């Protein structure tokens, strides 16, 4: 698939629910993440990373580590001032306000789909086989 770009789209984790999504692909956007914000409506996908931290964060977040096929390896809740564990098979990280992911069906073993207006869908169907990302 093509290169990732900063932007917006939607996230689907289970059923037909579409969650607003921001994509952080550039070095600058990936480095900033959710720092300096009081919350997020939806989720943030940080591409090409397998660990995060919450130093300087103002709120607790859910963190889902995704593999290359957008399968969820694990979901953890991190309070501000924490360093997340390195996930060797992780390729992308999904962040949202603490508690949000459970309501979206983002859990270990689930697949998520990322729909971007400027390019192809990444990930795959939320059920069944998937395309790589």
Higher pLDDT, 19 or 14: 19
28-87: per-residue pLDDT in tens?
A: 999 999 998 999 999 999 999 999 999 999 999 999 999 999 999 999 999 999 999 999
**pLDDT score of 25 more than 80:** yes
What is the average pLDDT across 14-39?
90
pLDDT, one tens digit per residue, over 102-116 is 999 999 999 999 998
Question: Which are the contacts of 131, defined by CB distance < 8 A and separation ≥ 6?
Answer: 1, 69, 121, 122, 123, 124
């Amino acid at each position: 698939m093509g290169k990732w770009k900063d932007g917006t789209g939607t996230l689907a984790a289970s059923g037909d629910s579409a969650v607003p999504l921001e994509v952080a692909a550039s070095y600058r956007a990936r480095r900033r993440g959710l720092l300096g914000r009081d919350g997020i409506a939806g989720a943030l996908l940080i591409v090409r990373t397998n660990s995060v931290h919450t130093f300087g964060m103002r709120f607790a977040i859910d963190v889902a580590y995704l593999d290359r096929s957008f399968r969820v390896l694990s979901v953890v809740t991190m309070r501000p001032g924490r360093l997340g564990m390195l996930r060797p098979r992780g390729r992308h990280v999904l962040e949202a306000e603490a508690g949000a992911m459970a309501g979206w069906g983002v859990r270990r073993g689930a697949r998520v789909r990322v729909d971007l207006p400027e390019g192809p869908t990444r990930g795959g169907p939320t059920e069944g086989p998937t395309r790589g990302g």
